[in-house]
Chain A
Amino acid sequence: MSLTITCPICGKRSGYEFRYGGEDKGPRPDEDELTPEKWFDYTHLNTCIAGMQKEWWCHRDGCGTWFKIYRDTRTIGEVPLPVEDKIKDA
């Protein structure tokens, strides 16, 4: 099993049970000053970091929950959530 992901509801499971939901790009851009260029950047452009990346995942074959994890794209594996994010996401 190459990838395991920790679901906040079900715990650590095989990566095959999950669906990747893309990079976490933060909140939607503000509607007031939104231009088509800004919206395009938000929806289509990715940073593709070689390193620790914050991502959305869905426990597709399990509880169906959407959640965020940190993953090191160089080693593929999940890395623990930084303390400040644990507080923010709680």
Chain B
Amino acid sequence: MNEMRRYSPVSFEKQPVQTELRGLWRVALKYPQEGEGPHLIDLSHKPKWDVQSSALDTIQPFGVEIPKSPGRCKLMHGRMVCRMNATQARIIITGQEKNEQPNTSEFTDITEGHLLLALTGPNLFSITEKLTSLDLQNPEKPTPYLFQGPFAHVPCQVVVVKNKTDNCLLLLSCSRGYARDMVDAVFAAGKEADLRPAGEAAFIL
């Protein structure tokens, strides 16, 4: 009998030196010569949910209240809830806890349809400004904040989790079909900053 397996759409040139089987996913924990950063981390295995309802304010996904205004995000107990517009929100499970699958029609599991990358390390915005015109350092947008717009010409959702010059963290999500070109574009832009692939162990919220 064949074994069932889920594959991330993201692959790096280097092979991981430490992996872990989590559910049906093979998760890379560590890559060789990761260095001090900045790092690009594949988190596509993290559960992601799309929530759509005309009464979003009455829903509390995984016990977390959905923020009232679009762009605002809440990070609680390893769950990131981002308001996208009047009727739509996005949930990213950033922690390791197992979560019950919501059983109502408002929730759609998009884990396998979307990739999730984390960009972390110092001076990240010198890399991102080559890839997008989005003003990710806008001081009027309190972190964590969700930007929806083109990143490397691809419609993306970008969550700015930390935006300090010496400590930045971005979560980048888009359709899984863009994975190879997105990774190529990010590494090309990050070449002079010595951007390297890193495993999940380097992802610290």
Contacts and interface: CB of A to CB of B under 8 A. Distances in A.
Please determine whether chains A and B interact with each other in the same assembly: yes
B149 A9 contact: no
B148 interface: yes
A57 B84 CA distance: 18
Contacts of B35: none
Nearest to A9: B70
Interface in B68-87: 70-71, 84-85
Interface string A8-46: 011001101100000000000000000000000000000
Given A10-B71, A60-B155, A17 B85 contact: no
Interface string A51-72: 0000000011111110000000
Contacts of B85: 9, 63-65
Given A9-B85, A14-B133, A62 B149 contact: yes
Contacts of B67: none
A10 B149 contact: yes
Interface range for B = 10 to 19
Contacts of A63: 70, 84-85, 148
A13 B149 contact: yes
A47 to B, nearest CB: 30
Chain A interface main SS type: loop
A59 B84 CA distance: 13
Interface string B143-171: 00001111000010000000000000000
A62 B158 CA distance: 10
Contacts of B133: 14
B136 to A, nearest CB: 13
Nearest to A65: B85
Given A9-B85, A14-B133, A61 B150 contact: yes
Nearest to A14: B133
Contacts of A60: 155
- Central interface residue in A10, A59, A61, A63, by most chain B CB within 10 Å: A63
Interface of A: 9-10, 13-14, 16-17, 59-65
Interface of B: 70-71, 84-85, 133, 147-150, 155
21 contacts: A9-B71, A9-B84, A9-B85, A10-B70, A10-B71, A10-B147, A10-B148, A13-B149, A14-B133, A16-B150, A17-B149, A17-B150, A59-B148, A60-B155, A61-B149, A61-B155, A62-B148, A62-B149, A63-B70, A63-B148, A64-B85
